[in-house]
Structure 1
C-alpha cells in the first residue's frame, strides 16, 4: 500500500460486546479514545505502513484545528491525506516536507501533465490554507523546525502589510455566484426531482420512490438558505411547528453550522412540504426498517428521553445510562445516532432518511442534485442546481425584495438608490445574519454585483484591472 488512509473518531459509532468479530472486543473504545485525548469528529491519518504517528495526532487534536467548523475539518483532512501520500511516494514522511516539495505539489495539482484531475486556483487556495494550518501547528508544537509553506509580506490597499503564502494563486475570483429564479427552480425541481415532463405531465416510467423526500428538501433549502450540512442534519424536534403563519423561525445548532448557531426562516409552503414528506414517504421508510429490525442493530444508538424548552436533551445510551447535552452541541455524526420512540417502535430523530429508513448522510444530497440535473438535461431542460445554488438564490431574493421595499418607501429610483447605498446597511446585515456569514463585508463581496444583475436583468460586466479584457459572469439560470 502506498497511500495514507483517513479515518474519523466516532465515524462508526461505539462498538458493544455484541458487535461482530473483533469489534466486540473493543466495547471500551470510547474510553480508550478519551484517555488519549481523541474527540469525536477528529481525523486519524494512518501511514501506508499501518502506523499512527502520535505527533501527527497531536497536531490534529490541537485546538487550532479542532475549533475549525466541522465542514472545514472535513475539507482539510482529505487534503492532508493526498499531500502526505505524495510525500510518501517521494520517500518522505509528513514531517520531512520542504518548500520544494510543496512547489512540485502545486505544479502537479494545477498544471501537471498527465494529471487527470487538475484543480483551479480557488481549490488550490483551500488546499494551501489546509497545509499552512497543519504545518503551522506542527511548528508551534516544535515537531518541525520550519514549515514548507513559505510566507511573504503583501501590502494591502489601506497600507497594511500582511503575510501571504508565496504559492497563493493569483487567478481566484472573489465570487462566482450561481442562482435560480423561482421559475427556474420549480422547473428543475419538477423535472429533476418530481419526475414530471417539461410540460407538467407525469412521466410514465418514473419510479417515484424518493421524490417526496427530495422535493421537500429542495423546497426547504430554497426557502431557508441553509447550508447542505445545516439542513441535511436537522432533527424532527428542531423543525418549527406548522401553523397559520407565512414564515416560521428555526434554529441551526452550533455544531453543524459553519461558524455559530443562528436563526433561520422558512416559508409555510416549504415547511408544509417537509410535513407531507414526514407523514408519507418518511413513515413508509421507517415501517420498512422497523419490520427488518434495522434500528436495533445500529452501534451506539441513543434514545431521546426528553427535550427541554432550553434545547437541553436527555438520552439513554445502549447500556442504559442517561446522558444529557444540548441540541446545539450535537455533531452531524451524533445526530444520525439519535432516535425517538414512536407508536410502533424506535424512529430516527433526523429528518431525512434513505429508502431503507436509515439516516441519510448529508453529503449524499450533492449526488441527488447531480442526478436531478442530469434528468433535466436528458429532457432538454437547460437548468441545473446544487445545494449551494439554492442558498444563493434565497439570499438574492431577500436582497432584491428588501431593496425594492425600501425604494418604494423612500420613493427612490434605482439610480438614486445607488447614491444612498449607505442607507441600506440594515439590508445587508439581515442577509448576513440569515446566511450565517462572519461579516457584512463577506456578504457584500459575494452578492453585491449579482443582486444588481437580478434587479436590472442586464449582463453583469466585471472589469478586472490589469487582467485582460472585461469578463462576463455566467447568468446562472437567471433567465430560465
Structure 2
C-alpha cells in the first residue's frame, strides 16, 4: 500500500473525476504493465521516450507470450494517454512521449461509385484478362503471363464472397481448411482483424470458388513454394515460424522475434499474416493462400500490377464483341464486390416477391419485406456498419441511361423534336396553350 508517485496522485484525480471501478481496475493493470516494462530498462514515466512507448506497444500486441488483441490494447492505450495527459498538466513531463495510434484526421465522406459486371464481362475479365485464354475459350499459346490459375482463383473468390482486397488477399490456408492436403467442399471464414473497421462477420465460400482453387493449389503453388525456400530461409529470423497448429486450424503457436507466441488465426493482423510460415520438417510452407515471388503474399501494389497486365491483355483482343465487353476505365477488384452485392440483392428481392405472391401478403408487408430483409442480408454479408451504405446500391439496380434513352426514343424517331417541345410535353404543357406560358 505504499504510495507510488506520481501514479497515486493520478489515481486520486481519476476518483475525483468519477471514474467507475472497472475503468480504474483496467487502467491500474495497464499502467503496472508499463511500469514493469520501463523498470527493466532502468527508466520511469518521466524519462521514457516515444521510442520506449512504441516498443512497449509492440511487446504487448506482438511479442508477449499472450499478445493482447485490439479491444484490450485500445483500453491500455486510453489509460496511458490519460496518464501522460495528467503528467503534462502537473508539470512532471514537458511534452507527452505517448502518440496515440488512432486516426484523428477528418473523415471525408464521398458518394459511393458502384460499377458492376454482367456475366459476359466477368468471364472475359477472369478468363481472358487474368487467365490467358482467348475470347472463344481456347488456349492462347502465346500467353506469357504469370500464374494464371492463381489469378483466376482470385477473381472467383472476390466475386463469390464479396470480400474486399484487404480481406481476400490476406487469407491463410487454415481459414479455408486447406492444411494437410485437405479441401472442403464449402467453408466459412470469420473476418475480424483484416476486415474494414474491424467489423467482424462470417463470409461463405461456395463450391465454385473452392473448386477453382484446385488448379492453383495442385499445379502452381507447390512450384512457387519450392522456388521460394532459399529466400524464406534467408529471412527466417524475421518470420513468424509456426510449429504447432491447434483447434482445427483456429490457433497457431510458434516463434516470432525470438519469443514463443500463440495467436488465434482470425485475430492476426495483415502484417503478421504476411510473415507466417509453417515449419514442416521438409521446408517452410507459407501459410498465406495466395503467394507471390519470394513465397510471401503479394502487396496491394503487386496485385495492382496483375490487374493492369490483365487490362492490357483485354485491350489487345480485337473484334466487336471484345470492344462491347470493355468499360472506358480499367476494372478494379472492388468492382467484383459491387457485382456480388447487386446480384445478391436482385436475387433476394425476387425471392421476397415470390414468397409474398405465394402467401398473398398485403402491400405494406410486401414493401417492408423488400426494403428490409434483402438489404439487411446484403448488409450483413458485405460487412457494412450502417444500412445507409447498403441502400446506395438500390440506385444501380437499373441503368438510368437506358431509361433516358427509352423516354426520348419516340421523339427522336419522329423526326427530331426540339428540347423546348420535349420539356413542354414532359411538363404537361401543349405548344399551343399560350395561357400556360
Coarse TM-score class (shorter-chain normalised): 0.5 to 0.7
The answer as to whether partners of 1:259 and 1:438 remain within 8 angstroms in 2 is no
Are 1:365 and 1:387, in contact at CA under 8 Å, matched by a contact in 2?
Answer: no
Note if 1:278 corresponds to 2:217: yes
CA gap 1:276/1:417 in 2 versus in 1, 3 angstroms: farther
- 2:373 counterpart residue number: 426
Q: Deviations over 1:103-151 (max 9, x none)?
A: xxxxxxxxxxxxxxxxxxxxxxxxxxx7437xxxxxxxxxxxxxxxxxx
Q: Distance in 1 between matches of 2:214 and 2:364?
A: 42
**Aligned equivalents of 2:301 and 2:207: distance in 1?**
26
Q: CA deviation at 1:275?
A: 3.3
Equivalence map 1:173-188=2 (5 Å)? 174-188=111-125
1:338-390 Cα distance to aligned partner (Å, 9 max, x none): 11123631111111111443332244222311221121112143425211000
Residue 64 (structure 1) aligns with: 102
Larger radius of gyration: 2
Correspondence 1:157-172 to 2 at 5 A = none
Residues 406, 305 of structure 1: alpha-carbon distance in 2 compared, 3 angstrom cutoff:
same
Which stretch shows the higher mean deviation, 396-405 or 321-330?
321-330
Contact 1:370–1:386 (Cα < 8 Å) also in 2: no
Structure 2: any 5+ residue segments left out of the alignment?
Answer: 1-50, 63-69, 71-93, 407-422, 424-437
3-state SS of paired residue (1:353) = coil
Instruction: Tell me the CA shift for residue 253 of structure 1.
Output: 3.1
Q: Which residue number in structure 2 is paired with residue 125 of structure 1? A: none
- CA deviation map 1:172-211 (0-9, x unaligned): 5x23210112221111111111111222222221124311
* Residues 192, 375 of structure 1: 8 Å contact kept: yes
Of residues 366, 384, 407 in structure 2, which corresponds to 1:437?
Answer: 384
For the residue of structure 2 that corresponds to 1:280, the secondary structure is helix
Change (3 A) 1:256 1:437: closer
Greater percentage in helix: 2
1:352 corresponding residue in structure 2: 290
| Aligned mates of 1:200, 1:183 — CA distance in 2 | 12
1:376 alignment partner, one of 314, 338, 360 = 314
Contact 1:194-1:211 within 8 A present in 2 as well: yes
Q: Which has the higher strand share?
A: 1
Which of the numbers 317, 332, 341 marks the counterpart of 1:395? Answer: 341
Contact 2:346 2:397 in 1 (8 A): yes
| Secondary structure, aligned partner of 2:253 | strand
CA–CA separation in structure 2 for the residues paired with 1:208 and 1:332? 27
TM-score of the pair, normalised by structure 2: 0.62
Q: Is the 8 A contact 2:291 2:298 kept in 1?
A: yes
Deviations 1:62-113 (A, max 9, x none): 1532xxxxxxxxxxxxxxxxxxxxxxxxxxxxxxxxxxxxxxxxxxxxxxxx
What is the match of residue 204 of structure 2? Answer: 265
Equivalent pair of 1:233/1:362 in contact (CA under 8 Å) = no
Selected match of 2:233 from 295, 313, 317: 295
Change (3 A) 1:243 1:356: closer
Structure 1: gaps spanning 5 or more residues: 1-29, 42-53, 66-129, 134-167, 462-469, 471-480
Going from structure 1 to structure 2, the CA distance change for 1:56 and 1:441 (only over 3 Å counts) comes to farther
**Maintained 8 Å contact 1:177/1:392:** yes
For 1:181 and 1:262, locate their aligned partners in 2 and report how far apart those are by CA, in whole Å: 27
What number of residue pairs does the alignment pair up? 312
Evaluate the alpha carbon distance shift between residue 256 and residue 244 of structure 1 in structure 2; reply closer, same or farther with a 3 A threshold.
closer
What's the CA shift for 1:405?
1.4
Q: Helix, strand or coil for the counterpart of 1:429?
A: helix
Which residue number corresponds to residue 34 of structure 1?
Answer: 55
Superposed structure 1 runs of 4+ greater than 6 Å apart: 36-41, 54-57, 416-419
User: Could you state the TM-score of these two structures normalised by the residue count of structure 1?
Assistant: 0.57
CA, structure 1 residues 347+227, in 2 after alignment: closer, same or farther (shift >3 Å)? same
